[in-house]
């Protein structure tokens, strides 16, 4: 296989206007959903008209007839043509030249039922969002959005290249995608990019992965009562939010604009982050990550994190027999997430009493179930008792300290954690 195949970087217009382009007979069903369409359209609207936006990569096999068969990028290309069709039905259709219209008319798609269903649903969504499609949107989509196109003349090489691209893509973690997104949001802020990138790069990738997947994603989801079991590339939108410098900001964003102005005036970095606040794109995303990384080091990851606060409970959950079992690690994670959110909201004030409540709440699934999975813990939060919601709605720390937790009885008997059961009995939560 040829190495280092150079790509041609083309505008969407130039790519779609190539009359050699075709979807091959061996195409896979079109599986992009409304979620993908909305994300594409909102990204185009978000970045227009400020920066060139690289949408993705297309791998093409040039067959013996000189046709360009799309090996990788079929889903994206079909969506481009659907959007082209939607544009042609608006009052801005005149912005499409004859070549584009001709390409649109000759483009044929699969007869697959899956493809037909998704194409119809996605096109209807584009129609519903037609108000979004104005002259600025169309010009930006066609002329400022780009794709990197790789053309190979050997079908085996084309599929090998496709596989190698996807193998590399699998190595790109969700937090890496977020880094790229928020750096794009800092366009024109070159002086501020370097320090945030250096701080990010100095944090171990595994640490960032744990921070997002185990803590930030789950706490933010559980606060809202959402199931939050696994953080994947499909959930990165959870960490995309508002742009402070957008000309017309919604009223809910003004408090963050005021905080930004105050910090700039006083040359301070102490932004008042909260786990349940909207994400602020760009530099404040990176500052938020640094803030919660440091807080986790202080509250969760340090062996002396809870020194002086309910030390008997901390000593117990650090050392009881079975602490390293997978199920016990799940309930410990729940405890740590609850504690992190309490400290995020109320600081260290009243921490010993809070730890007592969070301990009883988090370790209840350990005594109720002989086997504990992440699904067990997730269902417990979402459907049985959501302490995150209690903390969010608490006006004072006493609202958390006085929360009424259910008692456990011997019908919840388990032999997995006798030391935990004994502590529940001592604290009068097991009768």
Average pLDDT, the chain: 85
**pLDDT value, residue 210:** 93
**pLDDT value, residue 7:** 74
**pLDDT value, residue 247:** 43
Residue 323 structure tokens? 């602490």
The rounded distance, in Å, linking the Cα atoms of 203 and 292 is 12
The rounded distance, in Å, linking the Cα atoms of 238 and 64 is 46
Q: Inform me whether the pLDDT recorded for 157 exceeds 90.
A: no
Bridge partner list, 21: 68
pLDDT digits (tens, 9 = 90+) for 353-377: 999 999 999 999 999 998 999 999 9
Hey, how many other C-beta atoms are within 10 angstroms of the C-beta on 431?
9
| Boundaries of every domain in the chain | 8-171, 189-297, 303-426
User: Are residues 394 and 345 in contact, defined by beta-carbon separation less than 8 angstroms?
Assistant: yes
Identify the band that residue 164 occupies on the pLDDT scale cut at 50, 70 and 90.
Answer: low
Q: Taking the model in full, what pTM does it have? A: 0.68
Q: Where are the alpha helices (DSSP H) in 185-310?
A: 190-201, 205-210, 217-223, 254-265, 283-296
Mean pLDDT across 196-210 = 83
User: Are residues 12 and 147 in contact, defined by beta-carbon separation less than 8 angstroms?
Assistant: yes
pLDDT digits (tens, 9 = 90+) for 379-430: 999 999 999 999 999 999 999 999 999 998 877 667 789 999 999 999 999 8
297: which residues sit within 8 A by CB, 6+ positions away? Answer: none
Mean pLDDT across 121-144 = 90
């Amino acid at each position: 296989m040829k190495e280092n195949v150079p790509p041609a970087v083309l505008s969407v217009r130039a790519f779609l206007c190539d009359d050699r382009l075709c979807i091959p007979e061996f195409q896979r069903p079109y599986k992009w959903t409304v979620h993908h369409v909305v994300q594409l359209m909102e990204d185009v609207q978000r970045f227009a008209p400020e920066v060139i936006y690289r949408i993705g990569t297309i791998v093409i096999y040039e067959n013996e007839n000189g046709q360009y068969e799309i090996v990788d990028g079929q889903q994206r290309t079909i969506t481009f043509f659907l959007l082209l069709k939607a544009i042609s039905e608006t009052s801005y259709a005149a912005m499409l030249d004859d070549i584009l219209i001709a390409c649109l008319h000759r483009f044929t798609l699969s007869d697959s039922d899956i493809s037909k269903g998704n194409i119809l649903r996605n096109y209807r969504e584009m129609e519903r969002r037609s108000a979004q499609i104005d002259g600025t949107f169309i010009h930006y989509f066609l002329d400022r959005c780009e794709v990197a196109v790789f053309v190979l003349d050997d079908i085996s090489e084309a599929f090998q290249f496709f596989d190698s691209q996807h193998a590399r893509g699998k190595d790109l973690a969700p937090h890496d995608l977020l880094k790229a997104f928020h750096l794009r949001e800092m366009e024109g802020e070159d002086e501020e990019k370097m320090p945030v990138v250096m701080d990010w790069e100095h944090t171990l990738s595994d640490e960032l992965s744990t921070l997002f997947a185990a803590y930030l994603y789950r706490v933010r989801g559980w606060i809202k009562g959402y199931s939050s079991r696994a953080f994947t590339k499909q959930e990165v939108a959870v960490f995309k939010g508002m742009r402070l410098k957008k000309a017309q900001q919604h009223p809910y964003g003004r408090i963050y604009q005021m905080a930004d102005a105050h910090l700039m005036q006083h040359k301070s970095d102490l932004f008042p982050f909260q786990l349940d606040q909207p994400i602020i794109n760009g530099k404040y995303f990176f500052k938020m990550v640094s803030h919660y990384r440091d807080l986790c080091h202080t509250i969760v990851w340090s062996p002396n994190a809870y020194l002086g606060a309910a030390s008997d409970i901390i000593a117990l959950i650090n050392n009881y027999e079975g602490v390293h079992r997978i199920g016990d690690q799940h309930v410990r994670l729940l405890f740590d997430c609850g504690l992190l959110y309490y400290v995020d909201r109320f600081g260290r004030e009243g921490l010993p009493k809070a730890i007592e409540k969070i301990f009883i709440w988090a370790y209840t699934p350990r005594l109720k179930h002989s086997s504990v999975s992440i699904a067990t813990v997730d269902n417990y939060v979402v459907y049985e008792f959501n302490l995150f919601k209690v903390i969010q709605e608490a006006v004072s720390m006493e609202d958390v300290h006085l929360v009424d937790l259910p008692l456990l009885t011997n019908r919840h008997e388990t032999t997995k954690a006798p030391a935990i059961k004994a502590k529940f009995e001592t604290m009068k939560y097991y009768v």
